[in-house]
Structure 1
Amino acid sequence: MSVRGYAGTSVADIVRNAGVSRQTFYELFDSKQSCFLASYERRQDSLIEAIFSTPVADAPIDRFASFLGAYLSVIASRPETSKLYLIGVYSAGPEAVAIKLDKQKRFVDGVADVFDARTDAARFACRTLVGAISTLVVDALLADEVHSIENLHGPLVDVARKMFTA
């Protein structure tokens, strides 16, 4: 799917690439969508785990910088897969989009924990920051400018610093 996209990939493509029979595929999954959703959730959960397992720094902005760096590094290291899961997810239907939004909420919760965001305004700022990160990363992936993804780190940390430090 990371080569042909969600819509352009058939079950036949999946079984051929995975080296399994069609029967084995259908023993594991009901459909191409259920296969995608399982893969999507596994990838997003491992990405979240990688981000939040980064070493803990003392200052909130340093913790944010650390986990943002981990996120950008993972995204840039596998651009085809990142493009599939950040953009192609919309082709997999409303259930996939709902899972995407749930996973994005986990990122927001992580940012809120880092900055001890307790008020509605502070939580909204966290949502805004995560939305900006997502949009900028997707923009770079769509433009095939993978090299620019990690370059977002400094400017995004500066934005977070302005938003959350006095």
Structure 2
Amino acid sequence: MLGRVNQPGTSRFAATYPPEQPGLPRGRSRLPVAVARERQHDRLLRAAISAIADKGYIDTNVADIVSRARVSRREFYTHFGNIEDCFLAAATASAATLFDTMSKATAELAPLAAMRAAIGAYLGMCAGEPEFTKCLIIDLPATGIRGATDRLRGDRKFATMLHTLHEAARSEHPGWPPAPDEAYLAAVGMIVEHVAEHLINGEVHRLPALTDRFHGLTLRLLGVPPH
């Protein structure tokens, strides 16, 4: 079990706001309503990742989230209908940051180097954000069909990135054979299952060192000739 709770500023996705830290300003010094709601929303998303990574989706309740966010229960229901809505919003926002990081890592690189960089960025994020990684891989499907669909959507987005880069590489090497569509999702599944294994074993910190190995396995799955 992870159990590690990040303080604000040490994680991009998870946070518990300690009691000694001031809450959102009230009274004469209160924030404009729109700004306050935006900050409440962000706190609730980060607190949801923190609480669910710590306790698991099934055992997390609204009180766990609002106490970590230092936001009232009433404000929680202003933003979300239930824990599932909050968690899925948190996972979606975090995944968007993940894919933005992966896209930036591939900029201005040759296709196969970009593929390696995308895989490395994914593994680096998983290693650096273990709370998010646990939520994404273990807890998200526990929400039911919505969560499982969101996770599959993310896997397919990763697969599409691999497909695009592989086709770009093939345009530079006309003799390379095409890969079946299923191969791209299979490559992502291979990577995700290894991430899950390292997560369960408490070894996510080791993932970045496996970038070359997973890149090589991905190329083999896609039928890229040795070079």
Structure number with higher helix proportion? 1
* Correspondence 1:52 to 2:92: no
Question: 1:156, CA displacement in angstroms?
Answer: 0.9
* Correspondence 1:149 to 2:207: yes
Partner of 1:127: 185
Instruction: Decide whether the 8 Å contact of 2:128 with 2:205 is kept in 1.
Output: no
Distance 1:85 1:61 in 2: 27
Distance 2:205 2:101 in 1: 21
Instruction: Decide whether the 8 Å contact of 1:68 with 1:153 is kept in 2.
Output: yes
Distance 2:74 2:162 in 1: 43
TM-score (normalizing by structure 1): 0.92
| Same amino acid, percent of matched pairs | 28
TM-score (normalizing by structure 2): 0.68
Distance 2:94 2:124 in 1: 14
Distance 1:96 1:137 in 2: 18
- RMSD over equivalenced CA pairs, Å: 1.8
Q: Which amino acid aligns with 1:57?
A: L
* Correspondence 1:8 to 2:59: yes
Question: 1:165, CA displacement in angstroms?
Answer: 2.1
Cα-to-partner distance string for 1:11-31 (whole Å, 9 max, x where unaligned): 001111111111100010000
Instruction: Decide whether the 8 Å contact of 1:115 with 1:164 is kept in 2.
Output: no
Gaps of 5+ in 2: 1-51, 171-176
Higher relative contact order, chain-length normalized (CA < 8 Å, sep 6+) = 1
Partner of 1:17: 68
Question: 1:89, CA displacement in angstroms?
Answer: 0.8
Distance 2:136 2:146 in 1: 14
The total of aligned residue pairs comes to: 165
Matches within 5 A, 1:54-93: 54=105, 55-58=107-110, 60-93=111-144
Partner of 1:107: 158
Question: 1:121, CA displacement in angstroms?
Answer: 4.1
Cα-to-partner distance string for 1:35-60 (whole Å, 9 max, x where unaligned): 001001111111111101213312x2
Question: 1:123, CA displacement in angstroms?
Answer: 1.9
Distance 2:148 2:96 in 1: 15
Distance 2:125 2:72 in 1: 31
Distance 1:83 1:128 in 2: 21
Which of residues 79, 82, 95 is equivalent to 1:28? 79
Distance 1:79 1:145 in 2: 10
Instruction: Decide whether the 8 Å contact of 1:7 with 1:91 is kept in 2.
Output: yes
Distance 1:52 1:164 in 2: 23
- In structure 2, the residue corresponding to 1:2 is in which secondary structure? helix
